[in-house]
Structure 1
Amino acid sequence: MTNALPLLLQVAAWLAMFAISAVLQAAKAENVYVIDTSKRPHSLAFANAINQACPSCQPVKYMDMHGSHRLARQIGSTLTDLHQKKELDLVVTIGRPATRLVARTLDDVPIFHSMAANPLPDSNESPNVINVEAVPPLSLQLQTLITLAPETRTIGFLGTRETLEPHLNIANKAAAQMGIQVKFYYVRRPYDVSNGLRKAIRETDGLIFLHDPVVVNADTVNYLLRLTLENRIPTLGYSEKLVERGMLAALTTNPEYFGKKLGEAIQQYIETGEEPSIEMIPALFQLHINGNTASQTPTVQAVAPNGVRMVLR
């Protein structure tokens, strides 16, 4: 028995080393790709932040679809080849089109869908897609508009029932805590936007536009901007493009900070297999403000809520 003890200790040590080696192998994902729908100024900053925060991902590779169906097919073919060669471990997608492309191409590679104005609906057809968007909480959107326009007491939302009704209880509860009132104006089709918007302008001090293509689209956007500017109604949207066209402000994702938090979450996922959960704190977001519109709206001050980065345009 005494001679067997050293052998048992050696076996135990070997098993421990094997277990550690297995964990290290599981935590190694050298082939991580970011697939972008259409490259924006923030895209590379976002990818670089993931790279810095996720040691197991380095170096992160970046591909851009440029919004092109032809390039999308080429990228899909490239991803298929990489997967067959076992040179693809994990994908981060930016935007819905990129997510749809990768989900159709790969069914057994983790796909982290990110940087979208609204989350993808849950789908049993793509169980490998993990939604990790940073969508501003409704309470933060309300607080942002109040910070921009402190005299605001009634805030309106214009949209379809499908867009607005999931937010009714949250908005009413948050508004009550802030001592303000919220009103909802429903439209069914773009032709209804004119009447709904005019009524909202008469009855509210400010408007928040959620992502709703029935309300904000190529046919309605100029009318929305012109009427709200003429009536000096503070407005908050979801895209910096709207701010560039004249909307007062938009609350969007802070790409560097979100990339950092997503990189940390992916590192944890690689090590533990647990799906990430990112807390929606103010630092995840940035507020774009149109300086000209702000100067023409007497009730507005160019200030962001605490923790939110401000970008003056």
Structure 2
Amino acid sequence: MSHAAEKRRSLRGFFSAALCAVAAEAGQARAAHRVAALLVYDGEGGAYQRAAEVCAAELAGDFDVVVLSESQLNTANAWRAIGSDEAGPDVYLAAGARSAAALAKRAPAGAPVRYCLVASPGAIGLLDRPNTVGVLAEASVDDQLRLLRRALPKVRRLGVLYHSGSKRSLDTLKQARSAAGDSLTLVAEDVARSDAFSEALKRLFAQDVDALWMIADPAVYNAGTVKATLIRALRERTPVFGFSASLVRAGAALGVQVDPAAQGRRLAELAREAALQGEATTVSRALAPRALLVVNALVVEKMRSRFSHEALAEAAEVKPR
């Protein structure tokens, strides 16, 4: 073999070894910078577990994620479950209010806590804790009215039952009046004025409402009042817009749904942002989820002429109970 050929082979060997060394070093660097996360979800099965599973799958490439149910969190030594140095997770993640409250209480001060599927973060102290950000479980008032208008373009008078003693009712009404604009009149009836819920319903329907919007307030709606509202609305042939897919299954013509998988993906995005920021931020805030229109085809069929065919074609259909 000529001297030149030997030199070329030697150079190829050198570059090959160098590339292997660089690749190994890069792999070690990636491993060294993997983010440790603890992800806890409420209950077993259902929306919370689904959101947690999607979040964990989204983070699998560059996070080391320990996933626990809320009950497992109470029995497992979760704070030492990640990493060998017992330093604890870099990011704390929760799907559901109970899990979020537990992590916010037990995570070190200033450590990033991120959550999804929480209806009232302020009620469990999440908005008061620094570096705590998440996604609400319910669609915003703006999104609900936007979907309602798209599906029912002829609605001009929208009936709403509320409770004057409930801050949640009053806040929702304030937001709704701001979002309604000039083209939509809110006809609000206070259930606190009556001894019987049926009287408030009767007064509301006597005011020629085009549709009824059920707001998410337990001071107004429980199992009994939901049933009474849906039965009366069917009798009056008035479409009801519900604040959840479960209300649509129960008999509301249409409503809003928040997809647990989408919540899980959003939680993963928040986790990545938190990993970059670390403890550098003290901001706490709650974000609105993406809202989807859902319809009950059996109920819609009884009053189809009132609905936008385009909106119905795009909506998801739920099966009645």
Give your verdict on TM over 0.5. yes
1:180 to 167, 171, 184: 184
Matches within 5 A, 1:73-222: 74-78=72-76, 79=78, 82=81, 85-108=86-109, 109-121=111-123, 123=125, 126-127=129-130, 129-133=132-136, 135-161=138-164, 162-176=167-181, 179-188=183-192, 191-203=195-207, 204-222=209-227
Matched, 1:230 2:231: no
Partner-residue secondary structure (3-state), 2:292:
strand
Count how many residue pairs are aligned between Structure 1 and Structure 2.
281
Q: State the Cα distance separating 1:175 from its structure 2 match.
A: 1.6
Q: State the Cα distance separating 1:32 from its structure 2 match.
A: 2.9
Q: Which runs of 5+ in 2 are unaligned?
A: 1-28
User: What is the aligned partner in structure 1 of residue 303 from structure 2?
Assistant: 297
CA distance 1:118–1:38, shift in 2 (3 Å): farther
| Identical amino acids, percent of aligned pairs | 20
Matches within 5 A, 1:24-103: 28-40=34-46, 42-54=47-59, 58=63, 60-65=65-70, 72=71, 74-78=72-76, 79=78, 82=81, 85-103=86-104
Matched, 1:288 2:294: yes
Aligned partners of 2:163 and 2:134: how far apart in 1? 24
Q: Which runs of 5+ in 1 are unaligned?
A: 1-22, 66-71
Measured on the aligned residues, the alpha-carbon RMSD in Å equals 3.7
Deviation string 1:76-99 (CA, Å, 9 cap, x unpaired) is 232355489444333322222333
Q: State the Cα distance separating 1:55 from its structure 2 match.
A: 5.7
Q: State the Cα distance separating 1:254 from its structure 2 match.
A: 2.4
Matched, 1:265 2:267: no
Q: Which amino acid aligns with 2:263?
A: F
Aligned partners of 2:62 and 2:246: how far apart in 1? 31
Partner-residue secondary structure (3-state), 1:145:
helix
With normalisation by structure 2, the TM-score equals: 0.71
Aligned partners of 2:45 and 2:232: how far apart in 1? 32
Aligned partners of 1:261 and 1:149: how far apart in 2? 29
Aligned partners of 1:96 and 1:75: how far apart in 2? 14
- Contact map agreement 1:164 1:184 (CA 8 A) in 2: no
Q: State the Cα distance separating 1:25 from its structure 2 match.
A: 9.2
Structure with max Cα Rg: 2
Partner-residue secondary structure (3-state), 1:247:
coil
With normalisation by structure 1, the TM-score equals: 0.73
Q: State the Cα distance separating 1:196 from its structure 2 match.
A: 2.0
Q: Which amino acid aligns with 2:123?
A: P
